[in-house]
Structure 1
Amino acid sequence: MSANFKVLTEDSQFQSELSEAGGRLVVADFTSARCGPCQRIAPLFEEMANKFPTAVFLKIDVNQCTSAAASQGVSATPTFIFYRNKTKLDTLQGADPETLEARIRQHYGDGEGEEIEDSGVPGHIDLIPMINKAGCECLNESDDHPFIQALTSAGGYLESDTDEQLILYLSFNQAVKLHSMKVKGPAENGPKDMKLFINQPHTIDFDSAESANAVQEIALTAKDLEGELIPLKYVKLQNVMNLTVFVKNNQNDSETTQISYIQIIGSPVQTTKMSDFKRVTGKKGESH
């Protein structure tokens, strides 16, 4: 049995495992010994723990963990629920291994094994794992310090090339809601004035970014660049497939701009709040 695969037999274990997982993806299989489809997919689910080593796989029998199943709104088995930072990302019912593996890949991220930071915002997560890095683009990035280095907290930084301006295009692998962001950079040449655009059909150019109306304009201070939480206009950012960030200048009008790390905080559009779940009535754990 893989070290990242666990069988839960008590309700108290569920929240404990979610807390311990932190920023790692958690895939919970709510199953039943009396459910034929559950038993057929069970060995395949366990094998997937080997394919996705930085995720946590939990097998939860709904007849042993009745409170955990009810609190998560489980009304049929098998039900697979995906979490990160104790936040529910997605739900999948049924014993289709191909669909299950595709959904795991969607939420798993790039699989590089980096620990995802806690967003620090209850009910929201770091959305970096939901960014399609292959679909991202940066205009005026340095060859030696490209955009990809600012999407990880492991070190490195993004630096502009010919002048201080940058355009960052971030593509998400599903619709998300944006709550806030954090931008880290040096006090002398970290970004200062930024404009945000959403759902652009393609990467906009610098002239368009200068003249177009943004969904939000942000003026960063040197204090903000230490990783302070920057609130976004949440009500205007409810169904975002891509985000464009135009960096107009930097703190001290330096020749180039540096960004050490950018963190986007929010949640998937289909996320359901725990308080919205209704208690299951009737016989728990049986497939419908």
Structure 2
Amino acid sequence: MEPQPAGVTWGYPAEAPIARFKNPDDEGLEEAKSRVKGSRITHASQTSKSKCPGQPNQRSYTTALHCPRHDEVPTSELRDMPRRFAAVMKAHERLNQRKNVKKAQGDGGDGTKGKRRMNSEKSEHAAELRIHPGESFRNFSRRVDEEMQARVLHSVREGRSTSVKKKQYREKQKQKQKAKRQRQIEEAGARDWDDLRDEVKFGEVADAPPTITAVPKARGKTKKDLAQSLQPPPTNSSAAADAGSDSDSTLRTAKPTTVLDRALQDQRDKNRQRLKGMSEATRRVLDQERERVIAGYRAVKAKKMIAAGLTPMV
């Protein structure tokens, strides 16, 4: 290693100043500057990593300038397109290639089978319908008409076969649904509603409505009373009187079912208890007051009916 020039010092880190000269008028000024610059470049090459393969370790700006990879000509035709758009275009090209392969195998890319075969058949038919050498136009037109009639009949038959197939498919679906429904009924153990339907003969007339034999739930009445009410009415007057008395007693002993009936029943019970402890004079006064109120209510009701043009009730 060469000795340091007299009067010259420099910092060894890469970011240090180039040189610090004590005596700028020294004769070895230019030589010292060159040595300092060479030492800085050597230190940078030892501490930094190269970003370009095959090149010596240098700074980033030298790498960008001298790397041969950046000087290559782009080989792709999509070099001027954005990266995302280029990826979409490549995917579209791959899809077209797959479609072409399917078409070559006889299956169209859009799901239609035999597209290539149909095109070949069309070309063959077109070749058949050309006029032959020496054939008159009359014979050619007759041959074209016969060919068209045959094709029309063939298309009609194909349409009929398609409709027949659709009809058979619908019938098969109905049979499957019916079998499934029957299987569900058998598994559930339930009866079909068709089994509960009555068979009425032609011309049959009903003489009377059906009789109800089932006894409903008792609501304020006993089952015995309900069963008696469902029985047919008696024929003689004595039995009718007995039935009427029984029904009245049943109605009297029946328990109230609604909230309003219960409130009225409670009010009646309170009135009876109050009248039991009153004297005869007090009862007479209450009866007169009740009759007066009832008469006033009837008078007001009659006036309203007369004003409305109706006949008042007596």
Alignment TM-score, normalising by the size of structure 1: 0.15
Q: Higher relative contact order at CA 8 Å, sep ≥6: structure 1 or structure 2?
A: 1
Larger strand fraction of residues: 1
Alignment TM-score, normalising by the size of structure 2: 0.14
Larger helix fraction of residues: 2
- Larger-Rg structure: 2
